[in-house]
Amino acid sequence: MNFFVQRSELRDLYDKVAAGERISEADALRLFETKDLNALGAIADLARQKKVGNRASFIINRYINYSNYCILSCQFCSFARKKRDADGFELSIPQMVEKAREALKLGITELHIVGGLHPSLPFSYYVDFLKALKALDSRLQLKCFTAIEILHLAWMAKKTVEQTFMELKAAGLESLTGGGAEIFRKEVRDAIAKGKESAGEYLDVHRTWHKLGGRSTCTMLFGHVESLADRVDHLRQLRALQDETKGFVGFVPLPYQPENNDIPVKTPPTGFDALRTIAVSRIYLDNFDHITAYWVGLGMKLAQVALSYGADDLHGTIIEEHIFRMAGGQAPQLQTEKDMIKAIREVGRTPVQRNTFYEPIKILTDGAPAADEAEPSPGKSKVLEDNLATA
Q: Is position 121 an interface residue for ligand SF4 (rule: CB under 6 A)?
A: no
* Closer residue to ligand SF4, CB minimum distance, 75 or 287: 75
Provide the residue type at 366 as one letter.
D
Stretch that binds ligand SF4, among 69-77, 230-238, 239-247, 302-310 (CB under 6 A): 69-77
- Give CA separation, 198 vs 181, 191, 202, in Å: 9, 13, 6
Q: Is position 77 an interface residue for ligand SF4 (rule: CB under 6 A)?
A: yes
Stretch that binds ligand SF4, among 15-23, 76-84, 235-243, 306-314 (CB under 6 A): 76-84
Residue in 70, 151, 192, 205 binding ligand SF4, rule: CB under 6 A:
70
Buried b (16+ CB within 10 A) or exposed e, 5-31: beebebeebbebbeeeeebeeebbbbb
Q: Is position 72 an interface residue for ligand SF4 (rule: CB under 6 A)?
A: yes
Please say whether the beta carbons of 342 and 276 come within 8 A. no
Q: Is position 225 an interface residue for ligand SF4 (rule: CB under 6 A)?
A: no
Print the binding letters for residues 146-175 with ligand SF4: x by CB under 6 A, - otherwise.
--x---------------------------
Provide the residue type at 352 as one letter.
V
Q: How far is the CB of 114 from ligand SF4 (least distance, A)?
A: 8
**In angstroms, rounded to a whole number, what is the distance separating the alpha carbons of residues 304 and 171?**
36
Q: Is position 210 an interface residue for ligand SF4 (rule: CB under 6 A)?
A: no
Burial class (CB in 10 A: 0-12, 13-18, 19+), 136: middle
Size of interface with ligand SF4, in residues (CB under 6 A) = 12
Contacting ligand SF4 within 15-54 (CB under 6 A)? none
- Give CA separation, 145 vs 4, 114, 173, 326, in Å: 42, 5, 9, 19
Please say whether the beta carbons of 121 and 67 come within 8 A. yes
Q: Is position 224 an interface residue for ligand SF4 (rule: CB under 6 A)?
A: no
Q: Measured on CA atoms in the order 114, 119, 125, 126, is the torsion positive or negative?
A: positive
* Closer residue to ligand SF4, CB minimum distance, 32 or 222: 222
Q: Are strands 350-354 and 360-363 parallel, antiparallel or unpaired?
A: antiparallel
Q: Is position 196 an interface residue for ligand SF4 (rule: CB under 6 A)?
A: yes
* Closer residue to ligand SF4, CB minimum distance, 116 or 223: 116
Name the site residues for ligand SF4 (rule: CB under 6 A).
Answer: 70, 72-74, 77, 79-80, 116-117, 148, 193, 196
